[in-house]
Structure 1
Amino acid sequence: MYTAKGKADKNSLLTDHMPLVKRLAHQMKAKLPASVEVDDLMQAGMIGLLDAINRYEENHGAQFETYAVLRIRGAMLDELRSSDWMPRSTRQNMRKVESAMHELTQQLGRPPSESEVAKALKLSLSDYQEMLGDSGGHQLLYYEDFHDADGEGGSDSFLDRYAQDDEDPLKALLETDFRQAVIDAIDALPAREKMLMGLYYEEELNLKEIGAVMGVSESRVSQLHTQAVARMRAYLKELAWT
Protein backbone atom coordinates (compact mmCIF):
# COMPACT_ATOMS: atom_id res chain seq x y z
CA MET A 1 0.00 0.00 0.00
CA TYR A 2 3.04 2.27 -0.17
CA THR A 3 5.02 3.71 -3.06
CA ALA A 4 8.77 3.52 -3.49
CA LYS A 5 9.01 6.80 -1.57
CA GLY A 6 7.12 5.31 1.35
CA LYS A 7 3.90 7.26 0.83
CA ALA A 8 0.49 5.63 0.91
CA ASP A 9 -0.70 4.34 -2.46
CA LYS A 10 -4.02 6.16 -2.90
CA ASN A 11 -5.42 3.65 -5.38
CA SER A 12 -4.73 0.77 -3.00
CA LEU A 13 -6.28 2.64 -0.09
CA LEU A 14 -9.39 3.28 -2.16
CA THR A 15 -9.75 -0.33 -3.33
CA ASP A 16 -9.00 -1.87 0.06
CA HIS A 17 -11.50 0.32 1.91
CA MET A 18 -14.49 0.17 -0.45
CA PRO A 19 -15.96 -2.74 1.59
CA LEU A 20 -15.74 -0.49 4.65
CA VAL A 21 -17.93 2.08 2.91
CA LYS A 22 -20.52 -0.59 2.10
CA ARG A 23 -20.53 -1.92 5.66
CA LEU A 24 -20.92 1.54 7.20
CA ALA A 25 -23.72 2.40 4.75
CA HIS A 26 -25.70 -0.69 5.68
CA GLN A 27 -25.12 -0.07 9.39
CA MET A 28 -26.46 3.47 9.06
CA LYS A 29 -29.34 2.42 6.82
CA ALA A 30 -30.58 0.00 9.50
CA LYS A 31 -31.43 2.99 11.72
CA LEU A 32 -33.04 5.17 9.05
CA PRO A 33 -36.48 5.48 7.45
CA ALA A 34 -37.27 3.34 4.41
CA SER A 35 -37.13 6.44 2.19
CA VAL A 36 -33.34 6.60 2.59
CA GLU A 37 -31.54 4.61 -0.12
CA VAL A 38 -28.42 2.68 0.83
CA ASP A 39 -26.92 3.47 -2.59
CA ASP A 40 -27.09 7.19 -1.79
CA LEU A 41 -25.27 6.56 1.48
CA MET A 42 -22.61 4.50 -0.29
CA GLN A 43 -22.09 7.21 -2.90
CA ALA A 44 -21.67 9.82 -0.19
CA GLY A 45 -19.40 7.45 1.74
CA MET A 46 -17.12 7.04 -1.26
CA ILE A 47 -16.74 10.82 -1.38
CA GLY A 48 -15.82 10.71 2.30
CA LEU A 49 -13.28 7.95 1.66
CA LEU A 50 -11.66 9.93 -1.13
CA ASP A 51 -11.53 12.97 1.12
CA ALA A 52 -9.89 10.87 3.85
CA ILE A 53 -7.29 9.55 1.41
CA ASN A 54 -6.46 13.05 0.18
CA ARG A 55 -6.22 14.52 3.69
CA TYR A 56 -4.58 11.69 5.58
CA GLU A 57 -0.99 12.00 6.68
CA GLU A 58 0.73 8.97 8.16
CA ASN A 59 2.38 11.02 10.87
CA HIS A 60 -0.78 12.56 12.29
CA GLY A 61 -1.13 9.91 14.97
CA ALA A 62 -4.16 7.85 13.93
CA GLN A 63 -4.54 4.69 11.92
CA PHE A 64 -5.93 5.38 8.45
CA GLU A 65 -9.05 3.26 8.94
CA THR A 66 -9.92 5.10 12.16
CA TYR A 67 -9.63 8.41 10.34
CA ALA A 68 -11.48 7.10 7.27
CA VAL A 69 -14.46 5.88 9.33
CA LEU A 70 -15.00 9.39 10.66
CA ARG A 71 -14.75 10.92 7.21
CA ILE A 72 -17.05 8.32 5.63
CA ARG A 73 -19.70 8.63 8.31
CA GLY A 74 -19.41 12.41 8.21
CA ALA A 75 -20.01 12.43 4.44
CA MET A 76 -23.04 10.16 4.87
CA LEU A 77 -24.47 12.44 7.54
CA ASP A 78 -23.90 15.44 5.27
CA GLU A 79 -25.91 13.63 2.59
CA LEU A 80 -28.72 12.97 5.05
CA ARG A 81 -28.74 16.58 6.22
CA SER A 82 -28.84 17.89 2.66
CA SER A 83 -31.85 15.64 2.01
CA ASP A 84 -33.51 16.99 5.18
CA TRP A 85 -34.48 13.44 6.11
CA MET A 86 -34.96 14.25 9.81
CA PRO A 87 -37.46 17.07 10.41
CA ARG A 88 -36.37 19.94 12.62
CA SER A 89 -39.26 19.10 14.96
CA THR A 90 -37.76 15.64 15.52
CA ARG A 91 -34.40 17.06 16.56
CA GLN A 92 -36.20 19.52 18.82
CA ASN A 93 -38.07 16.64 20.45
CA MET A 94 -34.81 14.78 21.05
CA ARG A 95 -33.22 17.88 22.58
CA LYS A 96 -36.15 17.95 25.02
CA VAL A 97 -35.51 14.30 25.82
CA GLU A 98 -31.81 14.99 26.39
CA SER A 99 -32.61 17.94 28.63
CA ALA A 100 -35.07 15.88 30.68
CA MET A 101 -32.53 13.08 31.03
CA HIS A 102 -29.87 15.52 32.19
CA GLU A 103 -32.12 17.10 34.82
CA LEU A 104 -33.43 13.76 36.09
CA THR A 105 -29.94 12.28 36.31
CA GLN A 106 -28.89 15.26 38.44
CA GLN A 107 -31.94 14.86 40.68
CA LEU A 108 -31.89 11.06 41.01
CA GLY A 109 -28.17 10.37 40.91
CA ARG A 110 -28.76 7.59 38.36
CA PRO A 111 -30.03 7.20 34.78
CA PRO A 112 -33.80 7.81 34.72
CA SER A 113 -36.21 5.11 33.58
CA GLU A 114 -38.38 5.48 30.51
CA SER A 115 -41.41 6.12 32.69
CA GLU A 116 -39.60 8.88 34.56
CA VAL A 117 -38.50 10.59 31.33
CA ALA A 118 -42.02 10.30 29.91
CA LYS A 119 -43.49 11.85 33.06
CA ALA A 120 -41.00 14.72 32.96
CA LEU A 121 -42.03 15.40 29.35
CA LYS A 122 -45.72 15.17 30.33
CA LEU A 123 -46.22 12.25 27.96
CA SER A 124 -47.69 8.82 28.43
CA LEU A 125 -45.17 5.98 28.25
CA SER A 126 -46.61 4.83 24.92
CA ASP A 127 -46.41 8.34 23.45
CA TYR A 128 -42.81 8.68 24.63
CA GLN A 129 -41.86 5.36 23.08
CA GLU A 130 -43.61 6.39 19.87
CA MET A 131 -41.52 9.57 19.86
CA LEU A 132 -38.37 7.47 20.19
CA GLY A 133 -39.50 5.26 17.31
CA ASP A 134 -40.16 8.28 15.11
CA SER A 135 -36.68 9.59 15.90
CA GLY A 136 -34.81 6.54 14.63
CA GLY A 137 -31.45 7.60 13.23
CA HIS A 138 -30.75 10.18 15.95
CA GLN A 139 -26.97 10.61 15.87
CA LEU A 140 -24.36 11.09 18.56
CA LEU A 141 -22.85 14.04 16.66
CA TYR A 142 -24.28 16.65 14.31
CA TYR A 143 -22.46 19.46 12.57
CA GLU A 144 -24.57 21.89 14.61
CA ASP A 145 -23.00 20.51 17.78
CA PHE A 146 -19.85 22.45 16.92
CA HIS A 147 -21.82 25.71 17.01
CA ASP A 148 -24.24 27.49 19.26
CA ALA A 149 -27.94 28.03 18.54
CA ASP A 150 -27.19 31.01 16.29
CA GLY A 151 -24.86 28.97 14.09
CA GLU A 152 -21.70 30.58 15.44
CA GLY A 153 -19.04 28.95 17.55
CA GLY A 154 -19.42 29.97 21.18
CA SER A 155 -18.97 29.03 24.80
CA ASP A 156 -22.17 26.94 24.75
CA SER A 157 -20.98 24.84 21.86
CA PHE A 158 -21.44 21.11 22.58
CA LEU A 159 -17.91 20.13 21.58
CA ASP A 160 -15.95 23.31 22.31
CA ARG A 161 -13.73 21.52 24.78
CA TYR A 162 -12.87 18.84 22.24
CA ALA A 163 -12.38 20.82 19.02
CA GLN A 164 -11.21 24.31 19.86
CA ASP A 165 -9.72 26.50 17.15
CA ASP A 166 -9.44 23.72 14.58
CA GLU A 167 -10.59 23.90 10.98
CA ASP A 168 -11.07 20.14 10.96
CA PRO A 169 -13.22 19.15 13.98
CA LEU A 170 -13.15 15.45 13.12
CA LYS A 171 -9.37 15.45 13.16
CA ALA A 172 -9.48 17.35 16.43
CA LEU A 173 -11.66 14.65 17.96
CA LEU A 174 -9.06 12.05 17.04
CA GLU A 175 -6.40 14.00 18.88
CA THR A 176 -8.32 14.63 22.13
CA ASP A 177 -9.89 12.62 24.93
CA PHE A 178 -13.27 12.61 23.18
CA ARG A 179 -12.95 8.90 22.41
CA GLN A 180 -12.56 8.13 26.13
CA ALA A 181 -15.52 10.40 26.89
CA VAL A 182 -17.69 8.33 24.53
CA ILE A 183 -16.50 5.11 26.20
CA ASP A 184 -17.40 6.60 29.59
CA ALA A 185 -20.82 7.64 28.25
CA ILE A 186 -21.50 4.05 27.15
CA ASP A 187 -20.37 2.73 30.54
CA ALA A 188 -22.86 5.08 32.21
CA LEU A 189 -25.81 3.61 30.28
CA PRO A 190 -28.33 1.30 31.97
CA ALA A 191 -27.27 -2.34 31.57
CA ARG A 192 -29.82 -3.16 28.86
CA GLU A 193 -28.91 -0.21 26.66
CA LYS A 194 -25.20 -0.79 27.26
CA MET A 195 -25.62 -4.38 26.02
CA LEU A 196 -27.54 -3.12 22.97
CA MET A 197 -24.79 -0.68 22.03
CA GLY A 198 -22.19 -3.41 22.39
CA LEU A 199 -24.13 -5.77 20.15
CA TYR A 200 -24.63 -3.05 17.56
CA TYR A 201 -21.25 -1.35 17.43
CA GLU A 202 -18.86 -4.09 18.59
CA GLU A 203 -20.56 -7.27 17.42
CA GLU A 204 -22.06 -5.42 14.40
CA LEU A 205 -25.44 -7.15 14.67
CA ASN A 206 -28.38 -5.51 12.91
CA LEU A 207 -31.53 -4.42 14.76
CA LYS A 208 -33.41 -7.62 13.95
CA GLU A 209 -30.56 -9.79 15.23
CA ILE A 210 -30.27 -7.70 18.39
CA GLY A 211 -34.01 -8.09 18.94
CA ALA A 212 -33.62 -11.86 18.78
CA VAL A 213 -30.80 -11.76 21.36
CA MET A 214 -32.70 -9.43 23.69
CA GLY A 215 -36.10 -11.03 23.18
CA VAL A 216 -37.81 -7.88 21.89
CA SER A 217 -39.09 -6.62 18.55
CA GLU A 218 -36.92 -4.81 16.01
CA SER A 219 -38.95 -1.62 16.56
CA ARG A 220 -38.31 -1.86 20.30
CA VAL A 221 -34.56 -2.16 19.64
CA SER A 222 -34.78 1.00 17.53
CA GLN A 223 -36.51 2.83 20.40
CA LEU A 224 -33.89 1.70 22.91
CA HIS A 225 -31.06 2.66 20.56
CA THR A 226 -32.47 6.16 20.12
CA GLN A 227 -32.87 6.49 23.88
CA ALA A 228 -29.30 5.31 24.47
CA VAL A 229 -27.96 7.89 22.02
CA ALA A 230 -29.97 10.60 23.80
CA ARG A 231 -28.50 9.53 27.14
CA MET A 232 -24.98 9.64 25.70
CA ARG A 233 -25.53 13.10 24.22
CA ALA A 234 -26.82 14.33 27.58
CA TYR A 235 -23.75 12.83 29.28
CA LEU A 236 -21.33 14.46 26.81
CA LYS A 237 -23.07 17.82 27.13
CA GLU A 238 -22.65 17.60 30.89
CA LEU A 239 -18.90 17.11 30.39
CA ALA A 240 -18.77 20.11 28.08
CA TRP A 241 -20.51 22.27 30.65
CA THR A 242 -18.28 21.29 33.59
Structure 2
Amino acid sequence: MQQAFSAAARGQDAYNQYLKNTQDELALQYLPAVKAMAFRLKERLPSSVDMNDLVSIGTEELIKLARRYDSNKNDSFWGYAKTRVNGAMLDYLRTLDIVSRSSRKLIKAIEAEVSRYFNEFEEEPSNEYLAKVLNEDIEKIHQARLASDIYAVVPLDEQFNALEDGDILQYCEQKELMEIIQKVLAKLTEREQLIIQLYYLEELSLSEISEVLDITESRISQISKEVIKKIRREIGEANG
Protein backbone atom coordinates (compact mmCIF):
# COMPACT_ATOMS: atom_id res chain seq x y z
CA MET A 1 0.00 0.00 0.00
CA GLN A 2 2.82 2.38 0.93
CA GLN A 3 4.52 1.67 -2.40
CA ALA A 4 1.30 2.49 -4.23
CA PHE A 5 1.04 5.82 -2.41
CA SER A 6 4.70 6.59 -3.18
CA ALA A 7 4.22 5.76 -6.86
CA ALA A 8 1.12 7.96 -7.01
CA ALA A 9 2.99 10.80 -5.34
CA ARG A 10 5.88 10.47 -7.79
CA GLY A 11 3.41 10.47 -10.66
CA GLN A 12 1.75 13.63 -9.36
CA ASP A 13 5.14 15.31 -8.88
CA ALA A 14 6.12 14.38 -12.42
CA TYR A 15 2.86 15.77 -13.79
CA ASN A 16 3.24 18.99 -11.80
CA GLN A 17 6.77 19.42 -13.13
CA TYR A 18 5.56 18.77 -16.70
CA LEU A 19 2.78 21.33 -16.25
CA LYS A 20 5.23 23.88 -14.85
CA ASN A 21 7.64 23.34 -17.77
CA THR A 22 4.79 23.73 -20.28
CA GLN A 23 3.65 26.95 -18.65
CA ASP A 24 7.19 28.31 -18.58
CA GLU A 25 7.56 27.50 -22.29
CA LEU A 26 4.40 29.51 -22.93
CA ALA A 27 5.95 32.47 -21.10
CA LEU A 28 9.18 32.13 -23.11
CA GLN A 29 7.25 32.47 -26.37
CA TYR A 30 6.17 35.96 -25.33
CA LEU A 31 9.49 37.28 -24.00
CA PRO A 32 10.05 39.27 -27.23
CA ALA A 33 6.72 41.02 -26.63
CA VAL A 34 7.75 41.87 -23.05
CA LYS A 35 11.07 43.27 -24.29
CA ALA A 36 9.27 45.34 -26.92
CA MET A 37 6.87 46.68 -24.28
CA ALA A 38 9.77 47.62 -21.99
CA PHE A 39 11.58 49.32 -24.88
CA ARG A 40 8.54 51.42 -25.81
CA LEU A 41 8.01 52.40 -22.18
CA LYS A 42 11.70 53.25 -21.68
CA GLU A 43 11.55 55.72 -24.58
CA ARG A 44 9.23 57.87 -22.43
CA LEU A 45 11.26 57.68 -19.22
CA PRO A 46 14.28 59.42 -17.67
CA SER A 47 17.72 57.97 -18.43
CA SER A 48 18.05 56.86 -14.80
CA VAL A 49 15.53 54.04 -15.42
CA ASP A 50 17.21 50.82 -16.59
CA MET A 51 15.33 48.98 -19.35
CA ASN A 52 16.72 45.65 -18.11
CA ASP A 53 14.89 46.22 -14.82
CA LEU A 54 11.64 46.71 -16.72
CA VAL A 55 12.26 43.51 -18.69
CA SER A 56 12.98 41.58 -15.48
CA ILE A 57 9.80 42.84 -13.80
CA GLY A 58 7.76 42.08 -16.92
CA THR A 59 9.26 38.61 -17.30
CA GLU A 60 8.62 37.73 -13.66
CA GLU A 61 4.98 38.78 -14.03
CA LEU A 62 4.70 36.91 -17.34
CA ILE A 63 5.86 33.65 -15.73
CA LYS A 64 3.39 34.06 -12.86
CA LEU A 65 0.58 34.67 -15.32
CA ALA A 66 1.57 31.69 -17.48
CA ARG A 67 1.33 29.42 -14.43
CA ARG A 68 -2.16 30.74 -13.66
CA TYR A 69 -3.40 30.85 -17.25
CA ASP A 70 -6.46 28.77 -18.11
CA SER A 71 -7.03 28.46 -21.86
CA ASN A 72 -10.62 27.40 -21.19
CA LYS A 73 -11.38 30.80 -19.63
CA ASN A 74 -9.18 33.02 -21.81
CA ASP A 75 -8.93 32.88 -25.62
CA SER A 76 -5.46 34.38 -25.95
CA PHE A 77 -2.63 34.21 -23.44
CA TRP A 78 -1.12 37.55 -24.48
CA GLY A 79 -4.55 39.19 -24.46
CA TYR A 80 -4.87 37.95 -20.88
CA ALA A 81 -1.32 38.89 -19.90
CA LYS A 82 -0.51 42.15 -21.71
CA THR A 83 -2.35 44.61 -19.44
CA ARG A 84 -1.10 42.85 -16.30
CA VAL A 85 2.53 42.84 -17.47
CA ASN A 86 2.33 46.52 -18.36
CA GLY A 87 0.70 47.21 -14.99
CA ALA A 88 3.54 45.42 -13.18
CA MET A 89 6.08 47.62 -14.97
CA LEU A 90 4.14 50.79 -14.06
CA ASP A 91 3.82 49.67 -10.43
CA TYR A 92 7.60 49.17 -10.33
CA LEU A 93 8.20 52.64 -11.76
CA ARG A 94 5.95 54.19 -9.13
CA THR A 95 7.96 52.53 -6.35
CA LEU A 96 11.09 54.26 -7.66
CA ASP A 97 9.50 57.63 -6.95
CA ILE A 98 11.50 59.07 -9.82
CA VAL A 99 9.33 62.16 -9.70
CA SER A 100 10.67 64.11 -6.74
CA ARG A 101 8.71 66.84 -4.94
CA SER A 102 10.58 69.55 -6.83
CA SER A 103 9.94 67.74 -10.11
CA ARG A 104 6.23 67.51 -9.33
CA LYS A 105 6.16 71.29 -8.83
CA LEU A 106 7.96 71.69 -12.15
CA ILE A 107 5.53 69.33 -13.87
CA LYS A 108 2.58 71.39 -12.62
CA ALA A 109 4.24 74.58 -13.85
CA ILE A 110 4.93 72.97 -17.23
CA GLU A 111 1.34 71.73 -17.56
CA ALA A 112 -0.04 75.16 -16.74
CA GLU A 113 2.20 76.87 -19.30
CA VAL A 114 1.51 74.20 -21.95
CA SER A 115 -2.23 74.67 -21.41
CA ARG A 116 -1.96 78.48 -21.68
CA TYR A 117 0.26 78.26 -24.77
CA PHE A 118 -1.98 75.71 -26.48
CA ASN A 119 -5.09 77.82 -25.90
CA GLU A 120 -3.36 80.76 -27.57
CA PHE A 121 -1.48 79.08 -30.43
CA GLU A 122 -3.25 75.66 -30.77
CA GLU A 123 0.02 73.76 -30.50
CA GLU A 124 2.32 72.62 -27.72
CA PRO A 125 5.39 74.71 -26.88
CA SER A 126 8.89 73.35 -27.37
CA ASN A 127 11.14 72.39 -24.47
CA GLU A 128 13.36 75.31 -25.38
CA TYR A 129 10.46 77.75 -24.97
CA LEU A 130 9.42 76.20 -21.63
CA ALA A 131 12.98 76.34 -20.32
CA LYS A 132 13.18 80.05 -21.15
CA VAL A 133 9.75 80.98 -19.73
CA LEU A 134 10.12 78.89 -16.56
CA ASN A 135 13.81 79.77 -16.12
CA GLU A 136 14.81 76.12 -15.91
CA ASP A 137 17.52 73.97 -17.48
CA ILE A 138 16.25 72.41 -20.70
CA GLU A 139 17.31 68.93 -19.61
CA LYS A 140 15.22 69.28 -16.45
CA ILE A 141 12.25 70.27 -18.60
CA HIS A 142 12.82 67.25 -20.82
CA GLN A 143 13.12 64.79 -17.92
CA ALA A 144 10.10 66.25 -16.10
CA ARG A 145 7.89 65.89 -19.17
CA LEU A 146 9.03 62.28 -19.63
CA ALA A 147 8.55 61.37 -15.98
CA SER A 148 5.04 62.82 -15.93
CA ASP A 149 3.94 60.16 -18.45
CA ILE A 150 4.08 57.53 -15.70
CA TYR A 151 1.31 59.30 -13.83
CA ALA A 152 -0.80 60.09 -16.87
CA VAL A 153 -2.73 56.80 -16.97
CA VAL A 154 -6.44 57.65 -16.88
CA PRO A 155 -8.89 54.84 -15.93
CA LEU A 156 -11.07 53.73 -18.83
CA ASP A 157 -14.34 54.54 -17.03
CA GLU A 158 -13.19 58.14 -16.53
CA GLN A 159 -12.33 58.42 -20.22
CA PHE A 160 -15.75 57.03 -21.13
CA ASN A 161 -17.61 59.45 -18.84
CA ALA A 162 -15.81 62.35 -20.52
CA LEU A 163 -17.10 61.42 -23.98
CA GLU A 164 -19.83 63.37 -25.76
CA ASP A 165 -22.84 61.51 -27.21
CA GLY A 166 -21.34 61.41 -30.70
CA ASP A 167 -18.08 60.09 -29.31
CA ILE A 168 -19.94 57.34 -27.42
CA LEU A 169 -21.47 56.12 -30.69
CA GLN A 170 -18.01 56.05 -32.25
CA TYR A 171 -16.66 54.29 -29.16
CA CYS A 172 -19.32 51.56 -29.48
CA GLU A 173 -18.56 51.08 -33.17
CA GLN A 174 -14.87 50.76 -32.39
CA LYS A 175 -15.67 48.32 -29.59
CA GLU A 176 -17.69 46.21 -32.05
CA LEU A 177 -14.77 46.23 -34.49
CA MET A 178 -12.35 45.21 -31.72
CA GLU A 179 -14.59 42.27 -30.83
CA ILE A 180 -14.44 41.10 -34.46
CA ILE A 181 -10.66 41.44 -34.51
CA GLN A 182 -10.33 39.55 -31.20
CA LYS A 183 -12.55 36.79 -32.60
CA VAL A 184 -10.22 36.36 -35.57
CA LEU A 185 -7.05 36.52 -33.44
CA ALA A 186 -8.41 33.90 -31.04
CA LYS A 187 -8.42 31.38 -33.90
CA LEU A 188 -4.75 31.96 -34.73
CA THR A 189 -1.87 29.94 -33.34
CA GLU A 190 0.09 31.47 -30.44
CA ARG A 191 2.98 32.19 -32.82
CA GLU A 192 0.73 33.94 -35.34
CA GLN A 193 -0.85 36.00 -32.54
CA LEU A 194 2.61 37.03 -31.37
CA ILE A 195 3.60 38.14 -34.88
CA ILE A 196 0.48 40.32 -35.17
CA GLN A 197 1.10 41.70 -31.67
CA LEU A 198 4.70 42.65 -32.41
CA TYR A 199 3.98 44.10 -35.85
CA TYR A 200 0.80 46.10 -35.29
CA LEU A 201 0.75 46.90 -31.56
CA GLU A 202 4.41 46.98 -30.54
CA GLU A 203 5.33 48.43 -33.97
CA LEU A 204 8.42 46.31 -34.55
CA SER A 205 9.70 46.19 -38.12
CA LEU A 206 9.62 43.00 -40.21
CA SER A 207 13.39 42.64 -39.82
CA GLU A 208 13.17 43.00 -36.02
CA ILE A 209 10.41 40.37 -35.79
CA SER A 210 12.39 38.12 -38.12
CA GLU A 211 15.41 38.38 -35.83
CA VAL A 212 13.62 37.67 -32.54
CA LEU A 213 11.38 34.86 -33.84
CA ASP A 214 13.78 33.34 -36.38
CA ILE A 215 11.24 33.48 -39.22
CA THR A 216 11.60 35.02 -42.68
CA GLU A 217 10.26 38.50 -43.39
CA SER A 218 8.25 37.16 -46.34
CA ARG A 219 6.50 34.65 -44.06
CA ILE A 220 5.70 37.41 -41.54
CA SER A 221 4.24 39.54 -44.33
CA GLN A 222 2.21 36.58 -45.59
CA ILE A 223 0.75 35.85 -42.15
CA SER A 224 -0.13 39.52 -41.70
CA LYS A 225 -1.95 39.68 -45.04
CA GLU A 226 -3.86 36.47 -44.29
CA VAL A 227 -5.06 37.87 -40.94
CA ILE A 228 -6.21 41.14 -42.56
CA LYS A 229 -8.20 39.13 -45.13
CA LYS A 230 -9.87 37.14 -42.33
CA ILE A 231 -10.78 40.31 -40.46
CA ARG A 232 -12.28 41.88 -43.60
CA ARG A 233 -14.28 38.70 -44.20
CA GLU A 234 -15.64 38.76 -40.63
CA ILE A 235 -16.57 42.45 -40.95
CA GLY A 236 -18.39 41.71 -44.22
CA GLU A 237 -20.37 38.89 -42.58
CA ALA A 238 -21.18 41.06 -39.54
CA ASN A 239 -22.56 43.79 -41.82
CA GLY A 240 -24.74 41.28 -43.63
Same fold? TM cut 0.5 = no
Q: Choose between structure 1 and 2: higher helix proportion.
A: 2
Larger Rg: 2
TM-score range, shorter chain: 0.3 to 0.5
User: How does the TM-score come out when normalised to structure 2?
Assistant: 0.44
User: How does the TM-score come out when normalised to structure 1?
Assistant: 0.44
